[in-house]
Amino acid sequence: MFYIAIFFQYVAQYMKTRMQYRADLFVEIFSDLLFQAVNLIFILVVFGHTELLGGWTRDEIIFIYGFFLVPYALFSSFFNIWDFNERYIVKGELDRILTRPIHSLFQIVLERMELESLFGAVTGIAVMIYAGNSLGLGITWTDPFLFFLFVIGGMLVYGGIFVLIACISFWADARTSIMPMMYNIGNYGRYPVDIYNSVIRFVLTWVLPFAFVGVYPASYFLGKEEWFLYSFLTPVIGIVFFGISILTWNSGVKRYRGAGN
Amino acid sequence: MNDAITVRNLKKEFKAYSSRSGLKGAFRDLLTRNYKIVPAVNNISFQVKQGEMVGYIGENGAGKSTTIKMLTGILTPTTGEVIVNGMNPHKDREKFVSTIGVVFGQRSQLWWDIAVQESFRLLKKVYKVSDEQYDSHMAHVIRTLDIEPLLDKPVRKLSLGQRMRCELAAALIHNPPLLFLDEPTIGLDVLVKLKIREFLKEINEKYNTTILLTTHDLSDIEALCERVVMLDEGKIIYDGALKSLKEKWGEGKEIEFQFLEDVTLNDLNRITASSEVKWEKDEKEAIFTAFAEDNDELISLLIAKVVADLKVKDINIKETSTEEIIRNIYDRGIS
């Protein structure tokens, strides 16, 4: 309860600060939109050359992309830890975090949230509605609940992976360039995994389970029954990965060496 | 009375990598790294009672900050025992930190972009402070530190002195019984320093707040602390009253004379031949300084002799400053 209350306190504070820099806010939302449009155009260009991609139609792939945007928007709103090493370890900001009575990771989530990224979820839903219409998909009463569950699961998968990578900083001194690479790999989850070779598929399912952010959960709504098992694994994988990342984080914080003055 | 801080055989070691020289060395570093274990804090023990103000001093790299970070639960000790406010700081971190206040002089606790009072409001929620508690306590803090006019300004627009006063207030929002200050007066002008010192004294008297203070400015410690703990290379080399440090290590007094007539060192040596005094002359200003043991009778006798023989313009008696004492200890080591 306390954490929820604190969360909304931070959100309110965030909004107040953001309103002061309105121009900034619009530029950011606009650049996000542009980024999403470029990705969409890429899909359209690919399908300008072919009818099917590994047995998937254009609209199905657009639907997956639309779904992917929703958990991804949540992730990028709350897990801005890509610069964790520089900001918190090298500059020693973690010292300050650790002197406050809230879980350290939660504090970083609160401090670094970027709520304007949530706008991406709106785009995502719009894309899904468009693609769903073209595909003639119907909606049942369970769909909104499962959608919610899968989206949270996808966000936790993303969050878990990136928190684990941030944890490397507790053990290794040097900066790593794994973060940007991971953002790239994350994009693979937007496409049907059966178009990749089996090694990549295995990696995207069990090692860096980005497939659970895009294709697996979206398959449920597309009625691809061969993937249903994976669809329902989404929240489980999310909880497992996020749980592991929190445990790693907690033991990493114990090893924190601090920055010199 | 309870101890606010108990530290027993506390040790913190860091692994330090040493790189080999040259390109060949760099390649070898890739495979096997040389590292040595460096103790930053080496087997220290001390206790601080509730309500005490303790100065924690040492040169750069002596282990002050490392100790403070272990006491505040930021770092985990390698070995040894730390009990602060009856808790183990790194175990029950979240519960523990709501019983302490921390000010790092070189790091801001406040949010850069938002107004000071918004920061306070957020911290008030974070520390679960009730409105009544906040109002009664913080009104006093804000008044004493004179930060009322700063409350609606964003932190980035404050000067260092203004920011520091706000930091101090922020650390006290939950009225903690124990306050850690790591170089709180670094880079501040004299007026702000005085204000902060006065405020700390007041807090200490009013709430019996324990204060542990590290600083390079010994005048802070002289003004506030009765007890000092001195650290060198990770070890405690002195722990006791500031006064006895002075008595033990103070090297007598200096008496400066200026004369109305021309005087030479020989004259002075002749006049005071019977007592143990060393004279020195500052050529530029014609000031003669007598170095004598810190002994009231000896000094009054010395002055009497000089005044009887020569016409004196000015006399000035100086004690060895704490700064000098401490410099001497570090230069020569304690023995």
Domains of chain B, each with CATH number or no CATH: 3-247 (3.40.50.300), 252-319 (3.30.70.260)
CA distance B146 to A252: 41
* All residues at 6 or more sequence positions from A221 whose CB lies less than 8 Å from its CB, including other chains: A63, A67, A128, A132, A137, A143, A147
Q: What is the DSSP string of B223-269?
A: HH-SEEEEEETTEEEEEEEHHHHHHHH---EEEEEEESS---HHHHH
The confidence score (pLDDT) of residue B167 equals: 92
For chain A, give the longest Cα–Cα distance. 62
- Cα dihedral sign for A98, A99, A105, A109? negative
CB contact under 8 A, B125 and A6: yes
A6 to chain B, any CB pair closer than 8 A? The answer is: yes
CB contact under 8 A, B114 and A17: yes
Work out the average pLDDT over A77-96: 88
Q: What is the pLDDT of residues A176-222, one digit of tens each?
A: 678 888 888 888 888 888 888 899 999 999 999 999 999 999 999 99
A102 to chain B, any CB pair closer than 8 A? The answer is: yes
Tokens of B316: 């000035």
A130 to chain B, any CB pair closer than 8 A? The answer is: no
Residue A111's Cβ-count burial label (10 Å; 0-12, 13-18, 19+) is middle
Residue of B17, B113, B156, B212 for testing the chain A interface, max A β-carbons within 10 Å: B113
Is residue B326 within 8 Å of residue B57, measured between CB atoms?
Answer: yes
Is residue B79 within 8 Å of residue B11, measured between CB atoms?
Answer: yes
Per-residue pLDDT of chain B (335 residues; tens, 9 = 90+): 578 899 999 999 887 777 777 788 778 777 777 778 888 898 999 999 999 999 998 888 788 888 999 999 999 999 999 999 999 998 888 899 999 999 987 788 888 888 899 999 999 999 999 999 999 889 989 998 889 999 999 988 999 889 999 999 999 999 999 999 988 888 888 888 898 999 999 999 999 999 999 888 888 888 899 899 988 888 898 898 887 777 776 667 778 888 888 888 888 888 877 777 778 777 776 788 887 777 778 888 888 888 888 888 888 887 777 777 777 777 766 55
The confidence score (pLDDT) of residue B53 equals: 93
Is residue B288 within 8 Å of residue B278, measured between CB atoms?
Answer: no
Is residue A245 within 8 Å of residue A75, measured between CB atoms?
Answer: no
CB contact under 8 A, A98 and B106: no
CA–CA–CA angle B163, B164, B167 (5° rounding):
90
CA distance A227 to A211: 11
- How far is the alpha carbon of B7 from chain A, nearest alpha carbon, in Å? 19
Contacts of B78 in chain A (CB under 8 A): none
DSSP B2: -
- Cα dihedral sign for A153, A158, A164, A169? negative
- How far is the alpha carbon of A172 from chain B, nearest alpha carbon, in Å? 12
Q: Kindly provide the ipTM of the predicted complex, given to two decimals.
A: 0.82
Contacts of B124 in chain A (CB under 8 A): none
Tokens of A217: 């959960």
Measuring CA to CA, how many Å separate A42 from each of A35, A121, A219, A228? 11, 19, 21, 27
Q: What is the DSSP string of B80-120?
A: EEEEETTB-TTTSHHHHGGGEEEEETTS--S-SSSBHHHHH
DSSP B79: E
- The residue in chain B having the minimum alpha-carbon distance to the alpha carbon of residue A94 is B74
DSSP B276: -
Q: What is the pLDDT of residues A160-177, one digit of tens each?
A: 999 999 998 888 766 667
Is residue B98 within 8 Å of residue B87, measured between CB atoms?
Answer: no
The confidence score (pLDDT) of residue B274 equals: 74
* All residues at 6 or more sequence positions from B40 whose CB lies less than 8 Å from its CB, including other chains: B12, B13, B14, B63, B66, B234
Greater confidence (A155 vs B327) lies with A155
The confidence score (pLDDT) of residue A76 equals: 93
For the beta carbon of residue B92, count every other beta carbon within 10 angstroms. Answer: 12
Residue B143: CA count within 13 A, CB half-sphere: 8
pLDDT grade for A261, boundaries at 50, 70 and 90: very low
The confidence score (pLDDT) of residue B333 equals: 64
- In our burial notation (b when 16+ CB lie closer than 10 A, e otherwise), range A198-219 reads eeebebbbeebbbbbbbbbbbb
Best CA proximity match to B100, nearest among A106, A104, A99, A92: A99
CA distance A102 to A98: 8
- How far is the alpha carbon of B202 from chain A, nearest alpha carbon, in Å? 24
Pairing of strands B53-58, B210-214: parallel
CB contact under 8 A, A256 and B100: no
For chain B, give the longest Cα–Cα distance. 80
Contacts of B183 in chain A (CB under 8 A): 261
3-state secondary structure labels for all residues of B13-49: EEEEEECCCHHHHHHHHHHCCEEEEEEEEEEEEEEEE
- How far is the alpha carbon of A259 from chain B, nearest alpha carbon, in Å? 10
Is residue B44 within 8 Å of residue B236, measured between CB atoms?
Answer: yes
For the beta carbon of residue B45, count every other beta carbon within 10 angstroms. Answer: 13
pLDDT surpassing 90 at residue A230? yes
Best CA proximity match to B58, nearest among B319, B263, B305, B235: B235
CB contact under 8 A, A102 and B94: yes
CA distance A185 to A161: 11
A100 to chain B, any CB pair closer than 8 A? The answer is: yes
DSSP B154: B
CA distance B137 to B120: 13
B327 phi/psi in degrees, rounded to 5: -60, -40
Work out the average pLDDT over A60-68: 93
Reported pTM? 0.83
